[in-house]
Amino acid sequence: MKLNLYQKTAVTTVIATIILIFIGGLVRAVGAGLGCPDWPQCFGMWIPPTSAADLPAQYDAELFNPVHTWLEYINRLVGILIGFLIILTFIFSFKYRKKDPVITIFSGLALLLVLFQGWLGGQVVRSGLSAGMITIHMIVAMLILAVLLYASFRAMSTRLTTTLSGDTRRVLLWVSGGILFLTLAQMILGTQVREEVDVAKNVLELPREQWIDSLSWLYEIHRSFSWVVVALSGVLIYYNRKFNVSKRLSRLGWVIVGLIMLQMVAGIGLEWFDMAGALQVIHLVGVAVLICAELLYILIVSFSR
């Protein structure tokens, strides 16, 4: 499938955004969010130092961790790269301004959101990694991903069309829409649970093995609610088979199920292995990819003939 310049740039930007979410999850998991204590510079420099000896005099050398500093710096660099990619995506979207202006509008919306995200990143640092600010930062990243995915799909919808009857379309939209709604609810609950983990870690200064025990009833709801998502994904597979949907939709349905199960396994692992950092990253990136897969399924069904 040969893509034009807009399509290539938009898809690349979607992939780069997922990579940024991965790096951001890694930054949070290892506690490197303040690896660069200022914004937009890092220790008052545009290129951070590699050793405490190179720090400007006004910074405490005991607070310098080269791994944390460079991980956060790379996180910022990838964010800047995505900013440039989204600018290009918006410029190239003018190809569709007459044929399908929604593509240009959503590409412009993505640009506005990434500018807001850049400003928000500075506020996160200035707030000293306030849990609420971090949560908003992540939600905006997911919103950018969704907007980009929608614009990308509209530009390639003719390549991804499938044939469904009206009744089949309605049923599949209800089921897949329900899964997406529950996934978003789970994500929001998960951000609240993560904020409680941050309190246990940074405020109460509890040892890692006690973080889970300190969580409120929100964690119990988040954990139990996941089974509802699993059950509804089974319903999606049932209707895919019943309606004999295309191979593309069928495979995408199984991808959604697989990603949901991965989230379940990662969540269980977080409880069993005392919130292991690697599993935190998998859990965060997994939900981003899952939301993309669910949105793609809904878009393919919505644009079916």
Residue 192 sits in the same domain as residue 275: yes
Residue 155 sits in the same domain as residue 21: yes
Contact 154, 120 (CB under 8 A): no
The residue with tokens 């949105």 is 295
Residues 6 or more apart whose CB falls under 8 angstroms from that of 291 comprise 142, 145, 146, 180, 183, 184, 187
Q: Is 42 helix (H, G, I), strand (E, B) or coil?
A: strand
Contact 151, 93 (CB under 8 A): yes
Residue 121 sits in the same domain as residue 230: no
Residue 212 sits in the same domain as residue 272: yes
251 vs 75: which has the higher pLDDT: 251
> Model confidence over 62-121: pLDDT tens digits?
778 888 888 888 988 888 898 899 999 999 999 898 888 999 999 999 999 988 887 887
Cβ neighbours around 74 below 10 Å, total: 15
**How many Å separate Cα 255 from the centre of its chain?**
17
Q: Domain count for the chain, please give it.
A: 2
Instruction: Write out the residue range of the structural domain in which residue 292 sits.
Output: 164-305
Residue 144 sits in the same domain as residue 221: no
Residue 224 sits in the same domain as residue 278: yes
Residue 152 sits in the same domain as residue 38: yes
Residues 6 or more apart whose CB falls under 8 angstroms from that of 269 comprise 276, 279
Residue 188 sits in the same domain as residue 258: yes
Q: Omega of the bond prior to 207 within 30 degrees of 0, cis?
A: no
> Model confidence over 176-217: pLDDT tens digits?
999 999 999 998 888 888 778 777 776 777 887 788 888 888
213 vs 235: which has the higher pLDDT: 235
